[in-house]
Amino acid sequence: MFESRPARAVAKLWYLKMLWDQQSVPVPRDSPVIRSGADDPDRVLLIGNGPTHGWGTVTHELALTGQLARSLTRHTARPTDIRYIGDEMMSISSVRTWLGDVRLQDFDLVLVVLSMNDAVRLTPAETYRAAMVELLGRLTRESKPAARIVVAGIQEVDSLHAYSGLAARIGQRRADLLNGLTREVVGQHDGVSFLDLSAPPAEVGRPYGSPQLYADWSEVFASFCAPALDEARSLDADRSATRLTEHEWAWKPGERIMAATGGHESLDRLVQEAKSHFGVDAAWVSLIDGDQQFYAANTSPVGRAVPLELTHCQYTVQGDEPLIIENSAKDERFKGNPLLDLSQLRFYAGAPIKNDDGENIGTFCVLSVLPKSREAVSEDDLKEWASRAQDEVQRLAAESVEDDARLQAAIARR
């Protein structure tokens, strides 16, 4: 019964409802890299969604990424650097794209915390197993021999605020199945361990997440991962110093714009107004650099960035005119796209925004779950809002250049 296509469609819609109900819940949009500043720290790669997304916090320092770095240091008595790759919108099928060309040899430990969204959306077992085989194959093949890999199971489905009763029971049944498949695949690799995960209780009054909840989560992970880090260090006779980075920006002002922990009030206000003006489910202003799309402002539950190749905007920035897609589900360019399968955003209307040199460096977009006709959005109206977003981005970019100039002048005077 629960393997049927209609059942999966209903499960996807329920998950989508949960996401949109949580639009107002803050998530971190700052850099997902925690650095200790030490010369030879333990280096950890955190890959995940769910608790790793940082629901209820505005900075990775207070989310699981920062809390885990501090917990591991308490357990090992060594400094810890962590890089987080992932998002609530990352499913098992899209991990390959999210990882991109990351250098796995830089890390002593890889911690994988995935699959809750696959469980509650009833991802087919064969699809899930194939993706997990591919993921662990890459991790074991490309990581250094001394590195340890920990794969966490899916915690209790009823630990999610939106899941109780029948929805929780159906999701838990799939979670148990996927956990069994994960144990099986993990058992085929040396240096890989399975962590049977149980969720700590949420803080009273903060069901979606809080710094205290992530501190509790971090202890769950650290108690299991610290011995693995000890083992990795003992096996690594030829350690080399490596500085963890998130993204090397080609357009440097973009890095400064995205460095603001609390976002930018003017851009946040603009996208909220655009969502109401266009009558859509989501609106955002993005900066595109390399193979990543970064969200300078966003009304949807997506965090800091997503791989560009999974987005509509990859096509918008290729030209100078607005792009309107009535129904992404019927567009061959997005067939099998795992990000759109999660977000279910069908209608898209976007326009490029430029830097002061006339180069396309981002987009202004509005999106909806339900398809719409091209006439639902005026291209002239879209261009006008994109121009407002562009003016604000250019203003912020100019401020960042001025700040850099003042900093360099201050250094020169010393």
Range of the domain at 203: 5-235
Query: Do 122 and 87 have their domain in common?
Result: yes
Query: Domain with 35 in it: what CATH number?
Result: 3.40.50.1110
Condensed to tens digits (0 to 9), the pLDDT of residues 372-382 reads 999 999 999 99
30 with 114, same domain: the answer is yes
> Is 272 found in the same domain as 226?
no
Distance CA 296, CA 311 (A): 15
- Tell me: do 228 and 278 sit in the same domain: no
**b (16+ CB within 10 A) / e for 291-320:** ebbbbbbbbbbbbbbbbbebbbbbbbbeee
- CATH code for position 295: 3.30.450.40
Cβ proximity of 325 and 347 under 8 Å: yes
Q: Quick count: other Cβ atoms within 10 Å of Cβ 253?
A: 21
pLDDT digits (tens, 9 = 90+) for 288-310: 999 999 999 999 878 889 999 99
**281 and 386 part of one domain:** yes
The answer to the question of residue 247 being in a domain is no
- State the pTM of this model: 0.93
Same structural domain for residues 264 and 170?
no
Same domain flag for 34 and 130:
yes
pLDDT value at residue 404 = 65
Is residue 64 located within the same domain as residue 146?
yes
In a domain, 413, yes or no: no
Answer whether residue 412 is part of any domain: no
How do residues 118-164 score in pLDDT, each as one tens digit?
A: 999 999 999 999 999 999 999 999 999 999 999 999 999 999 999 99
Percent of the chain as helix, strand, coil, to the nearest 5: 45, 15, 35
Percentage of the chain surpassing pLDDT 90? 85
Domain assignment present for 364:
yes
| Domains contained in the chain, number | 2
Average pLDDT over residues 399-408: 68
In a domain, 172, yes or no: yes
- Kindly state the tokens that stand for 130: 């194939």
Considering the domain architecture, whether residues 343 and 368 belong to the same structural domain is answered as yes
